[in-house]
């Protein structure tokens, strides 16, 4: 299975680490709603078809990606940064990019 990283291009899945179900919404950290926390920690979808997943390119640029993968065929229909374009790399990536842009 190949995942196309927006930074690095198509790479084998062995370079990526599955980070979990991309459909979960974390409750407010101050919340004491135990049912909401229990659902966040334990409830999982198990779809036969497209599934929204979070993957990290741990063997490459380390960016977190939102991947839509068909669980029956492993076909990937969408790959995007979890936090929007360029924000998935954090401040280090932004600083490096600004530095490169300053030189041009």
Residues that bind Zn ion (CB under 5 A): 5, 7-8, 57, 60-61
Q: How far is the CB of 56 from Zn ion (least distance, A)?
A: 9
Q: How far is the CB of 7 from Zn ion (least distance, A)?
A: 4
Print burial letters for 44-67: b (CB count within 10 Å at least 16), e (below 16). eeeeeebbebbbbbeeebebbbbb
Q: Decide whether 22 or 63 has the Cβ nearer to Zn ion.
A: 63
Q: Decide whether 7 or 40 has the Cβ nearer to Zn ion.
A: 7
Query: H helices of the chain, where?
Result: 34-42, 90-103
Q: How far is the CB of 79 from Zn ion (least distance, A)?
A: 10
């Amino acid at each position: 299975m190949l995942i196309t990283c927006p930074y690095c291009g198509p790479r084998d899945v062995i370079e990526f680490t599955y980070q979990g179900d991309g459909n979960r919404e974390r409750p407010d950290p101050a919340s004491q709603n135990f049912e909401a926390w229990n659902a966040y920690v334990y409830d999982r979808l198990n779809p036969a078809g497209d599934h929204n997943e979070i993957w990290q390119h741990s063997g490459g640029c380390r960016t977190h990606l939102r991947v839509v993968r068909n669980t029956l065929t492993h076909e990937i229909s969408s790959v995007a940064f979890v936090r929007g374009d360029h924000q998935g790399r954090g401040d280090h990536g932004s600083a490096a990019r600004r530095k490169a842009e300053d030189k041009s």
